[in-house]
Chains A and B, each alone.
Chain A
Amino acid sequence: MQIFDIFLLEAVINGLMLGGLLALLALGLNLIFGVIEVVWICYAELIMVSMYSIWWLFKVIGVPLPIAMTGGLVFGCVIGYALHRFIIRPVLSAEPINQLLVTGGVLFFLQAAATVVFGIEYKNIGVNLPSLNIGEISLSWSRIIGFIVSIAAIAATYLFLNRTFLGTAIRAISQDRQVMPLIGVNAEKIYLLTSAVGGAMAALAACLLVLQYDLHPAVGLTFGPILFVICVLGGLGNLIGGFIAAFILAQIISIGGYFLQGEWGYVIAFGFFIVAMFVRPQGLFKR
């Protein structure tokens, strides 16, 4: 029983770290939805292309990794901005379904673009961080760093949203859009800024993920679906709800994957989600 417990504990800790990462992603998605009222169905694909941009800068161009990651962050900002400016803005006044469909098209496009440009072989940046060994538990440093950075980013976002003028305006815009001009706020500028920030968050996640996982055009599918499930569970647009839901589902995935095989963790998490939806369809938390 002793060994059983230890590895379960390891799964729990890994789940915690996964939770941090997913919470960061959920924050980005919820922020975009809260401000612009659009769901970026292609969010995971933004992460994927940012990962490729880092890989490309590091492995192909030969730039040092920190510079490559910074490049990735810039790339993420630009992609986020461009996504809103050129693809979402034209359909903002149309039915919400159109916005979903258009971001679905971007998902499609980005996956295919990555396939065409980079091919379907798995790639890796080849940086292998050591593991931290505590007793019988082995935790990879890349995940630990991922967790710390995620939490730091979430904390920074929290401070930004609550302590700055701009952050307060961003929180306000989701509560009453039409009043914004009367306060001298250009809503469109806020949308573009939020989109760039959302893209940057995806790119930040990409920096962390590129240390842990292989690269593949479909890698977005590893995170996308579970991310959506998290956001719906936490209440779409609810930043705190998404945060909590991320940790809950990450634990289920990790522990489920520990007891059964890897993929089943996701299936169980999804099952949990379905049950939760029957019990409280508005999401676990009120907005």
Chain B
Amino acid sequence: MTVLLEIKEVSAGYNGLKALFGVSIQVNAGEAVAVIGPNGAGKTTLLRVISRLVAATEGSLVMEGLSYADLPAHEILALGIAHVPEGRRLFPRLTVLENLRLGAYITSARGQYEDRLAFVYSLFPRLRDRASQLTGTMSGGEQQMCAIGRALMSKPKLLLLDEPSAGLAPVMVQSMFEMIRQIRDAGFTVLIVEQNIQQVLKLVDRAYLLEAGQIRRCGGAAELLQSSEIRQAYLGVS
């Protein structure tokens, strides 16, 4: 098991308010790892620290043995970390194809643009059908597909997914997690932040429980799913 991403004792905050306190997580190559926890726990902040959108005030960020805590945000993709942000954040007045193309913007990806596009289309055939549609006019589920597709265009070593099921109709949620399973089976390493604990724990190998900016628990997904503490607090099961 090679360690891909290693976050150690990371603290971060916004506007003087701290959101993360000494958080440490690790992701190994080929794994699917989840970060679960209540609203406002700092899950999104954690992903943003990993992708350097937010600066960590303390701690180390190491990817494939390389410390990258000083890299500017726009150089993270070249490291192999692709972040699909909360709310999809596609470019509404660009087509599906243009959004996907931008996923391959970095120089290392441009050369394989055609191949990558074919790959994404094979994973998400719907996107090929809608290639010339403006993404602003698509449904939430389709947008999420496109957003993930865009991230995959750079063939990332680590895929960060921020609440992929948020705002989706229940029917879509199922297929969303199916898609993520497919991605994971295709060999991608995935770090997912999710509120839908039930579904995500069925999908991933391991999970971290983040509450109020600190890691409370971590362990195998199945084990966490069975733990009474989790079941009571989050799944409403006594």
Q: Which residues of A contact B (CB under 8 A)?
A: 165, 168-169, 171-172, 175-176, 178-187
Are B103 and A183 in contact, CB atoms less than 8 angstroms apart?
yes
Given contacts A181-B73, A186-B74, 12 further A-B contacts (CB under 8 A): A165-B102, A171-B98, A175-B93, A179-B89, A180-B74, A181-B74, A182-B76, A182-B89, A184-B75, A185-B74, A185-B102, A185-B105
Are A184 and B72 in contact, CB atoms less than 8 angstroms apart?
no
* In the assembled complex, B56 has its CB within 8 A of some CB on chain A: no
Interface residue tally on B, bucketed by range: 20 to 34
Are A176 and B77 in contact, CB atoms less than 8 angstroms apart?
no
Q: Which residues of B contact A175 (CB under 8 A)?
A: 91-94
Q: Which residues of B contact A185 (CB under 8 A)?
A: 74, 102, 105
Q: Which residues of A contact B94 (CB under 8 A)?
A: 168, 171-172, 175
Q: For residues 82 through 97 of chain B, which have their beta carbon under 8 Å from a beta carbon of chain A?
A: 82-83, 85, 89-94
- In the complex, what distance in Å separates the CA atom of A97 from the CA atom of B77? 35
- In the complex, what distance in Å separates the CA atom of A179 from the CA atom of B102? 11
Q: Which residues of A contact B154 (CB under 8 A)?
A: 184
Nearest chain A residue, comparing its CB with the CB of B135: A175
Are B101 and A186 in contact, CB atoms less than 8 angstroms apart?
no
Are A183 and B89 in contact, CB atoms less than 8 angstroms apart?
no
Are A176 and B89 in contact, CB atoms less than 8 angstroms apart?
yes
Are A182 and B83 in contact, CB atoms less than 8 angstroms apart?
yes
Q: Which residues of B contact A182 (CB under 8 A)?
A: 51, 53, 73, 76-77, 82-83, 85, 89
Are B105 and A181 in contact, CB atoms less than 8 angstroms apart?
no
* In the assembled complex, B106 has its CB within 8 A of some CB on chain A: yes
Are B91 and A187 in contact, CB atoms less than 8 angstroms apart?
no
Q: Which residues of B contact A176 (CB under 8 A)?
A: 89-92
Q: Which residues of A contact B103 (CB under 8 A)?
A: 183
Nearest chain B residue, comparing its CB with the CB of A175: B91
- In the complex, what distance in Å separates the CA atom of A168 from the CA atom of B91? 10
Nearest chain A residue, comparing its CB with the CB of B154: A184
**Known contacts A176-B89, A182-B85: A168-B102 contact under CB 8 Å:** yes
Nearest chain B residue, comparing its CB with the CB of A181: B73
B54-92 CB mask vs A (1 if < 8 Å, else 0) is 000000000000000000111111100011010001111
Q: Which residues of B contact A171 (CB under 8 A)?
A: 91, 93-94, 98
Are A168 and B98 in contact, CB atoms less than 8 angstroms apart?
yes
Partner of B74, one of A165, A172, A184: A184
- In the complex, what distance in Å separates the CA atom of A176 from the CA atom of B89? 8
- In the complex, what distance in Å separates the CA atom of A181 from the CA atom of B72? 9
- In the complex, what distance in Å separates the CA atom of A171 from the CA atom of B77? 20
* In the assembled complex, B181 has its CB within 8 A of some CB on chain A: no
24 intermolecular pairs with C-beta atoms under 8 Å apart: A165-B101, A165-B104, A165-B110, A168-B98, A168-B102, A169-B105, A171-B94, A172-B94, A172-B102, A176-B91, A181-B51, A181-B52, A181-B72, A181-B73, A182-B53, A182-B82, A182-B83, A183-B77, A183-B150, A184-B75, A184-B78, A184-B154, A185-B102, A187-B74
Closest 3 CB pairs of A and B: A181-B73, A184-B77, A184-B106
Q: Which residues of A contact B105 (CB under 8 A)?
A: 165, 169, 183-185
Q: Which residues of A contact B89 (CB under 8 A)?
A: 176, 178-179, 182
Q: Which residues of A contact B52 (CB under 8 A)?
A: 181
- In the complex, what distance in Å separates the CA atom of A179 from the CA atom of B90? 8
Q: Which residues of A contact B102 (CB under 8 A)?
A: 165, 168-169, 172, 183, 185
Nearest chain B residue, comparing its CB with the CB of A188: B74
Closest chain A CB from B203 CB (angstroms): 23
- In the complex, what distance in Å separates the CA atom of A187 from the CA atom of B73? 10
Q: Which residues of A contact B72 (CB under 8 A)?
A: 181, 186
Q: Which residues of B contact A169 (CB under 8 A)?
A: 102, 105
**By CB atoms of chain B within 10 A, which of A165, A182, A185 has the most?**
A182
- In the complex, what distance in Å separates the CA atom of A183 from the CA atom of B110? 12
- In the complex, what distance in Å separates the CA atom of A180 from the CA atom of B73? 9
Are A179 and B85 in contact, CB atoms less than 8 angstroms apart?
yes
Closest chain A CB from B186 CB (angstroms): 21
Q: Which residues of A contact B83 (CB under 8 A)?
A: 182
- In the complex, what distance in Å separates the CA atom of A171 from the CA atom of B98? 10
Q: Which residues of B contact A179 (CB under 8 A)?
A: 85, 89, 91
- In the complex, what distance in Å separates the CA atom of A29 from the CA atom of B87? 32
- In the complex, what distance in Å separates the CA atom of A165 from the CA atom of B153? 13
Q: Which residues of A contact B85 (CB under 8 A)?
A: 179, 182
- In the complex, what distance in Å separates the CA atom of A66 from the CA atom of B150? 45
Nearest chain A residue, comparing its CB with the CB of B106: A184
- In the complex, what distance in Å separates the CA atom of A176 from the CA atom of B135? 13
